[in-house]
């Protein structure tokens, strides 16, 4: 009985794992082929390009084992996927896509705008700008969907316990063409194939207990099928990358030049930075030296002014006490001397001889 309970618990655990493997959450669609986003940007800016049609040409229906299906095996919206891939190329720096699939609706809307403006403003109505035209357009489609290219599996059963695994491989093929609008020449053609994998694995338990009177049978499994739309999207993104690379090889456009910094460049930059630091230090040192010299010069000037005034007093005293000494003073100096004499409490008792 204990073995039966353990077996039952193991089967329920396997079934729970299989159920939790499913994920139906809404998620944002990201780029499937990473090189589409990281490819180097164009040299002369984005290229204006148009897409007229990109449809399912296979006519393939979904492969179902037991009955015929009327659902198509490939998405019918591959045209929209191609436009998105062109817009995402090089983070949006490679192509500017113009609308052509719904061109009739676009022209009708522009006509309504012109009519409304003329009714409101009359002859002063502002005209619409011209439509953006493309020098080339991309076309093609999904040209093949081959199912069950490879099928296989493996399994084993021991004492009523079995485990097995099965797989299947399909292939989807697309073609992209770039056409020159002026000449009508097909410039580039590229073909891309993408493999689609489907796997299924599981196990079961088949046991008799209690003298063949009790039967336990448990099954669990999980299957994973790669979405066909995801495979088509990845193939289209890969095709856009190949379109860009072949265009570079044929000289239709070119990659932007990338700056490559070598080890020698880094050494030169480091030396220049060191030289700038040395120059800054010298300039700072010169500023300190110049400031010190200005201070010394100012002190010397002050000393010279004081010394000159003292000499003047000495000479003045010498002329007073020695009658034979004559000091020649200019008229301006006489006025200054007179002022100084008044400031010194009228010390006119000492005569000053002026030369005629």
Predicted confidence at residue 324, as pLDDT, reads: 44
Predicted confidence at residue 234, as pLDDT, reads: 92
Give the Cα separation of 172 and 149 in Å (integer).
11
Predicted confidence at residue 158, as pLDDT, reads: 82
Residue among 309, 317, 147, 141 at smallest CA distance from 228? 147
Model confidence, pTM: 0.64
Q: What are phi and psi of 278, to 5 degrees?
A: -65, -45
- Radius of gyration of the CA atoms of the chain, in A: 49
Q: Kindly tell me if the per-residue pLDDT of 173 is higher than 70.
A: yes
| CATH class in words for 2-249 | alpha beta
Q: Residue 31 contacts by C-beta under 8 Å, 6 or more apart in sequence? A: 37, 88, 237
Predicted confidence at residue 347, as pLDDT, reads: 41
Q: Residues 244-258: what's their mean pLDDT?
A: 89
Q: Where are the domains of the chain?
A: 2-249, 265-325
Instruction: Please write the tens of the pLDDT for every residue from 58-86.
Output: 887 776 666 656 778 888 888 999 999 99
């Amino acid at each position: 009985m204990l073995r039966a309970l353990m077996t039952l618990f193991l089967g329920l655990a396997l079934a729970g794992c299989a159920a939790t493997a499913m994920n139906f959450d809404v998620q944002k669609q990201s780029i499937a082929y990473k090189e589409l986003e990281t490819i180097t940007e164009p040299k002369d800016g984005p290229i204006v390009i148009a897409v007229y049609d990109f449809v399912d040409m296979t006519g393939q229906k979904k492969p179902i084992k037991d009955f015929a299906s009327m659902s198509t095996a490939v998405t019918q919206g591959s045209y929209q996927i191609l436009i998105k891939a062109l817009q995402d190329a090089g983070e949006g720096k490679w192509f500017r896509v113009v609308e052509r699939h719904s061109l009739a609706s676009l022209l009708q809307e522009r006509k309504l705008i012109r009519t409304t403006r003329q009714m409101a403003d009359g002859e002063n109505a502002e005209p619409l700008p011209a439509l953006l035209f493309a020098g080339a357009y991309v076309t093609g489609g999904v040209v093949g969907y081959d199912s069950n290219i490879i099928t296989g599996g493996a399994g084993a059963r021991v004492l009523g316990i079995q485990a097995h695994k099965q797989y299947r491989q399909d292939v989807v093929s697309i073609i992209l063409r770039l056409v020159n609008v002026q000449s009508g020449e097909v410039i580039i053609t590229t073909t891309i194939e993408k493999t689609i994998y489907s796997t299924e694995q599981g196990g079961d338990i088949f046991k008799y207990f209690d003298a063949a009177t009790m039967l336990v049978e448990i099954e669990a499994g999980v299957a994973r099928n790669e979405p066909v739309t995801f495979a088509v999207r990845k193939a289209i993104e890969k095709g856009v990358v190949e379109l860009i690379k072949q265009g570079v090889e044929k000289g239709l456009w070119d990659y932007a030049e990338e700056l490559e910094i070598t080890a020698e460049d880094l050494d030169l930059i480091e030396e220049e930075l060191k030289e700038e630091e040395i120059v800054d230090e010298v300039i700072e040192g010169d500023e300190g030296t110049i400031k010190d010299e200005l201070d010394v010069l100012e002190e010397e000037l002050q000393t010279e002014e004081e010394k000159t005034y003292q000499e003047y007093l000495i000479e003045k005293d010498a002329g007073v006490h020695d009658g034979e000494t004559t000091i020649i003073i200019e008229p301006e100096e006489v006025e200054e001397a007179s002022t100084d004499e008044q400031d010194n409490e009228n010390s006119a008792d000492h005569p000053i001889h002026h030369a005629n």
